[in-house]
Structures are given as structure tokens and as C-alpha cells.
Structure 1
């Protein structure tokens, strides 16, 4: 498999794109990062597995750190030694899927009940 080095984005470009498209993410130490808060271990595992599935499907793998009620996702393109379009694209997909709240869409899927026994993600909105 040939290794392709993607163009590394400049810090100003990264900051602009995060502010516009991924406001919950930030750029630090050569990575774009996001921490998802959960209601406990069940939610933490769901976030990790969701990110893992998306990363494997994209063939672009983040670093993940987790604890009982949070998951930190960090993205950089290792072979390019910096943040590239691949990182931003995967971050957008992760944000879309992990942050999905079907109950707010008004369709037939009502979403997770508000009962704390069933809560698993602490949504930003």
C-alpha cells in the first residue's frame, strides 16, 4: 500500500475551519481535539465504538483517551506530521454521528428518553 502524504494545514487555516465547521473542537500541540462528556461507562463505550467504526471505515485512525464519563478524540495525520483535510473530514463525520439527536428532528425516531436511567451522552445543545 503506497503512503500518501497529505498537505499539512497552517494553524490559521485550522483555527478558521474549526471555528466555522467544528466549534467544539480545538487545535493544540499539532492535533485537533474534542472531549465528549457522557453519563457513565455505557455512554463512554458507545462513543469509543462509534469513533472506532468511523475511523476504520475511513482508514484514518485517531488517538482516543477515555475515563468513566468522558472520551477525548485527537486527530492528526501521522505520516504528514500535522493536521490535514483528512482530519477535518473525519472530525466532521464523528461530530455528525456522535452528536445525532433524532428526537430533535421531529421524525419517527424519538431519540433517547429524558429519564436519567437511559441517558448516555451529554449533548452540547
Structure 2
């Protein structure tokens, strides 16, 4: 099982993850897309990446604003799997 990051380790990791915030229980990022359909395309691309990683974010869509929340539920908090998927979401959002 993946190990939950300490508050200090997570704070260090978040320095390199622009736009992400949170605590050892979970991290989140909002992306404002140019349009509703662009937001849906972003969600679709992230869904494909999540399937490849076998790790799935909680996703909230509000018009053009898409919020991604990450935590490893089986571990009870944020793990390296969440940081890896956050980096992948950043890559996808940068191209959107």
C-alpha cells in the first residue's frame, strides 16, 4: 500500500505543482477552460490518463470551471500516486 505523505513532504511537493493546494488528506486544482466544451474535452483527456494510471480523481464541472481533487482513498490521504497524477493533469491542462 502507498504511504500517506507527511504535511512537510506534501508542502515541499506542492512547490513544484503550480495551482495545486491542499493538505495530507487531499489536494485540488481548479482549471478555467475557455468554454464549457473545452472543459469537457479536458475532463475526457484527464479520464484517459487516469485510466492509464489506474488512479482516478474526483472531478467537479461547473460551467467552464473544472476542479480536480486527488487522494489515495485506500491509504487515507495523499501519496506519490496523487502527485504523479497531478503532474499529468498539469501537462494536459497546459495543452488545453
Is TM (by shorter chain) over 0.5?
A: yes
Which residue of structure 2 aligns with residue 14 of structure 1? 10
Matches within 5 A, 1:7-86: 7-19=3-15, 21-28=16-23, 30-86=25-81
Q: CA deviation at 1:36?
A: 0.4
* TM superposition score normalised by structure 1: 0.72
Contact 2:42 2:92 in 1 (8 A): no
Paired residue secondary structure (1:51)? helix
Mark the runs of 5 or more structure 1 residues left unpaired by the alignment.
101-120
RMSD: 1.3
Q: CA deviation at 1:28?
A: 4.3
Structure with higher strand content: 2
Mark the runs of 5 or more structure 2 residues left unpaired by the alignment.
none
Structure with higher helix content: 2
Q: CA deviation at 1:29?
A: 7.2
Paired residue secondary structure (1:39)? coil
Q: Which has the higher contact order (CA 8 A, sep 6+)?
A: 2
Which deviates further from its counterpart, 73-82 or 33-42?
A: 33-42
Task: Answer with 1 or 2: which has the greater Rg.
Answer: 1
